Copies of this chain bind each other. A is one copy, B any other.
Amino acid sequence: MDAAIHLAGRLEPRDAWRADRCAMARTLDVVRTKSAMLVLREAFYGATRFDDFVARTEASEPVVAGRLRELVAAGLLEHVDYRNPGERTRKGYRLTDKGADLFPVLAALMQWGDRWLGDQSSGVRLEHHGCGEPVAVTLRCAAGHGVTSGEVDLAIDRSSPRSPYAAR
């Protein structure tokens, strides 16, 4: 409840936020649509082929084709041709490091949904490989402390031009 209070404790609004510099907004410009998220979800779940993406995301072919093209162009997916023994060569898509690094975003969305929209279980759980314990998205500082949302401060880089929130 006081998450915002803590976060904003030292800040005073002055200029309008520079949307073009906000990392979150720019990330949303890369994966702005729900269908892009669903395609990425299926890439994480192991889909590689066009038809699998279509079937699993339950989106239409033109939409999936568009997302795949955009995600490849953005460098989140890459083409791979592969062949199962005895079968013909197939075209596929695979997460790049850049795409794979989006996993915490997907995991955080998943976790929030399971926690707050829990009228029905999603039926999927993330586990630590080998250990078997459930995996959660957490905040942690460089000193190794677990951090709650209420313990986060917003630090503004004053050297950057037109700092969005100048201290009073």
Contact = CB atoms under 8 A, between A and B. Distances in A.
Interface of A: 1, 3-9, 11, 13, 16-17, 19, 21-30, 32, 34, 37-38, 41-48, 52, 55-58, 94-98, 100-117, 120-131, 133-143, 145, 147, 149-157, 160, 163-165
A113 B4 contact: no
27 contacts: A1-B96, A3-B44, A4-B48, A4-B100, A11-B46, A13-B52, A23-B122, A24-B41, A24-B113, A27-B110, A28-B109, A101-B115, A104-B112, A104-B137, A104-B138, A107-B152, A108-B108, A121-B157, A123-B160, A124-B156, A124-B164, A125-B156, A128-B147, A134-B142, A135-B142, A135-B147, A138-B138
How many copies of this chain are found per oligomer?
A: 2
Given A27-B113, A105-B109, A46 B4 contact: yes
